[in-house]
Amino acid sequence: MTSSVGMSAVLGACARPRDAAVREPKQDGGSGEGGEVTPGEDLMREHGILRRIMFLYDEAIRRLDGREEVPINVLLSAAGVVRRVIEDYHEKLEEDFLFPRFERAGKLTDLVAVLRRQHQAGRIVTGDVLTLARGPLGEQAGRLKLADRLRAFNRMYRPHAAREDTVLFPALRALVGGKAYAELGEQFEDKEHRVLGEGGFEKAVAEVAELEAALGIADLASFTPT
Ligand SMILES: [Fe+2]
Ligand SMILES: [Fe+2]
């Protein structure tokens, strides 16, 4: 694993309940004004975690292709965040609270069908990543196979998340109305506490930051073109 001392220091600093000020019951019917975290914002910032994982995967792919060392524990931890936070939590929210509403209303049904299928495909790819990363990677063939699965994950999830951000989530509030939208925010919060525990989002962000540091891609400024 990555340095457990470093990890607990980071987690200790960040392991606080989600900012109570932004999670107070909605005062305005959930219009999004007044600083609350709306369901759309909640889902989109989980996509932010997914994007940071895909950036980690990009770096792992580069190293695997180039026969450079890849800290397998970092890759396993990254895939573990995908499984725990994205597949078992974020996608469950979409499957339980969003997709059925669109399906019942007969809205965006083709898109929802593809998104559902891609969740299933993503789980299979993550299973492959975990299996391959735990296996012997001395042979370049195994490394290239692993790189291929990581590439397949990123290839699917970049447009998947972008489509949800720009089409599905913006349509949600209009579909359910302000009151139900506000109630969804409360249901998401309850679910987050039950599935991920207190401060689940913040802990996941801290873990991803630690993994970025371990792969040497934590310095955002270093990616600014000169
Ligand atoms: Fe999704
Ligand atoms: Fe999503």
Residue 92 lies in a domain: yes
Instruction: Give residue 20's pLDDT.
Output: 41
Residue 152 lies in a domain: yes
Residue 10 lies in a domain: no
Ligand number nearest CA of 112 is: 1
Residue 46 lies in a domain: yes
116: CA distance to ligand 2 center in Å?
10
Residue 188 lies in a domain: yes
The predicted-structure confidence for 164-196, as pLDDT tens digits, reads as follows: 999 999 999 999 998 999 999 889 988 888 888
pLDDT at 17 over 90: no
95: CA distance to ligand 2 center in Å?
10
Mean pLDDT, the chain, integer: 86
| Cα torsion angle, 212, 49, 84, 129, sign | negative
Instruction: Give residue 25's pLDDT.
Output: 41
160: CA distance to ligand 2 center in Å?
7
Amino acid letter at 140?
A: Q
CATH code where residue 70 lies:
1.20.120.520
Tell me the percentage of the chain whose pLDDT exceeds 90. Answer: 72
82: CA distance to ligand 1 center in Å?
12
The predicted-structure confidence for 135-169, as pLDDT tens digits, reads as follows: 877 788 889 999 999 999 999 999 999 999 999 99
| Range with the poorest average pLDDT among 39-48, 87-96, 132-141, 147-156 | 132-141
Q: What is the number of structural domains in the chain?
A: 1
Residue 116 lies in a domain: yes
Its pTM stands at 0.84
Distance CA(189)–CA(162), nearest Å, equals 23
Instruction: Give residue 35's pLDDT.
Output: 54
Instruction: Domain of residue 127: give its range.
Output: 38-217
Residue 223 lies in a domain: no
Residue 29 lies in a domain: no
206: CA distance to ligand 1 center in Å?
22
3-state helix vs strand vs coil in the chain, percent to 5: 80, 0, 20
6: CA distance to ligand 2 center in Å?
30
Distance CA(167)–CA(107), nearest Å, equals 11
